[in-house]
Amino acid sequence: MTEAVDAGLGWTVQHAYRGSEFFRRKLDAAGVDPHSIRSEADLPRLPLTTKQELREAYPFGWTCVPPEQVVRIHASTGTTGRRILATYTANDLEDWAAMFQRCYEFAGVTAADRVQITPGYGLWTAGIGFQAGAERLGATAVPTGPGNLNLQFEVMLDLQSTVLCATSSFALLIAEETQRRGLNERLALRVGVFGSERWGEAMRSRIEELLKIETFDIYGFTELYGPGMGLDCREHEGIHYWDDYYLVEVIDHASEKVLAAGEEGELVVTTLRKQAQPLLRYRTHDLSRIIPEPCPCGSPFPRIERLKGRVDDMFKVRGVAVFPAQIDTVLSAQPGLGSEYQVLLTRREGRDRFLIRVEAPEVSGTEVLSAALRQELGVRPEIEIVPPGSLPRTDRKTKRVVDERG
Ligand SMILES: [Zn+2]
């Protein structure tokens, strides 16, 4: 394993250097001779790559193969600035599908399953990634794409789909709608594969309870093939990632120093086989940690903790840094609350107002909740209880933090 990793790393660095002006300049500027990177121990000598650099390299700046070898292009959603373009060779697509197939296998999906795929198709990597993995496994892909609840239910009922793939917010929407329509007994769903955004334990148990399924958290992003880069196993204690395809380091977001195994920070990935667009120490903005202990499931693939959030999700209130995952943790521990919440930040006369809207059937216990949140966050929010189902749900990514401080 180690030899294969070292060989993959050495190949990647030399390929990147040879294949693009982008990486050649980066490595030259850092004074790194690509031939000197021979093993995983050399990894910290490579310069980090940022999202901003990939954006500036738009469209083909960090593609390292000639155009005739590129067989497909995807792009990131581009909600926060310029798009990042993703290019693939035929081999890259095969590797992506193989990793995705592994995800399904970890979730216990087999060739006998019917997999309903609701993530979006098109330039976005999601839908087609779910489909390629399902087909490679030999399962039946049912590509409904996002939205259109009536169609989703029609297909789920008539075809008796057994696996549902979705963003977590769309999965919640489907789960609540299933209950509202009283369809639970007539559905054949048994597994949910959800991802593309961070979702807490409260949301997870609500979806599992309403749909009577086992859910799996999938990891991935466009710059690194797409979704399918890791999945929690049936132990549900962290996400296994595929270290035969890419390496993970954890760095301190501010100092950029590599952290010891088990410490929490920003995930940094380096690919081992990616041809069209290799990644060298790419800063993902995802916050997590490597779990050093072996998984009880016995899999040799290493694990990261489920994502705590993104570096960009962090917001500051009265000088205190807050991550939405911390709010999740507190809400999950309070009985009687829904899984949905919204943070509203405003400013009046120079002072931040920090309001959290939470769904619950009864308006009580706000003092206890506010105190518990203060304990965890270090800053006290006001609480507003709103009726269940009243906060926005979407089929893409739910925006939980509304910052109107200007
Ligand atoms: Zn495991």
What are the extents of the domains in the chain?
A: 90-311, 314-403
Report helix, strand and coil shares of the chain as percent, to nearest 5: 35, 25, 40
Tens of pLDDT along 222-272? Answer: 999 999 999 999 999 999 999 999 999 999 988 999 999 999 999 999 999
- Cα distance between residue 9 and residue 47, in whole Å: 14
Handedness of CA 358, 361, 362, 364 (dihedral sign): negative
Which class in CATH covers the domain with range 90-311?
alpha beta
CA of 201 to the centre of ligand 1 (A): 18
CA of 311 to the centre of ligand 1 (A): 26
CA of 168 to the centre of ligand 1 (A): 21
Beta carbons within 10 angstroms of residue 393's beta carbon = 14
Residues whose CB is under 5 A from ligand 1 (ion)?
A: 233, 235, 295, 297, 299
| pLDDT of res. 395 | 55
CA of 211 to the centre of ligand 1 (A): 23
CATH fold of 314-403: GMP Synthetase; Chain A, domain 3 (3.30.300)
Q: Is the pLDDT of residue 396 over 70?
A: no
CA of 351 to the centre of ligand 1 (A): 46
**pTM score, two decimals?**
0.86
CA of 139 to the centre of ligand 1 (A): 23
Q: DSSP code of 405?
A: -
Q: Is the pLDDT of residue 115 over 90?
A: yes
Q: Is the pLDDT of residue 119 over 60?
A: yes
CA of 86 to the centre of ligand 1 (A): 30
Q: Poorest-confidence range of 162-176, 294-308, 335-349?
A: 335-349
| pLDDT of res. 357 | 93
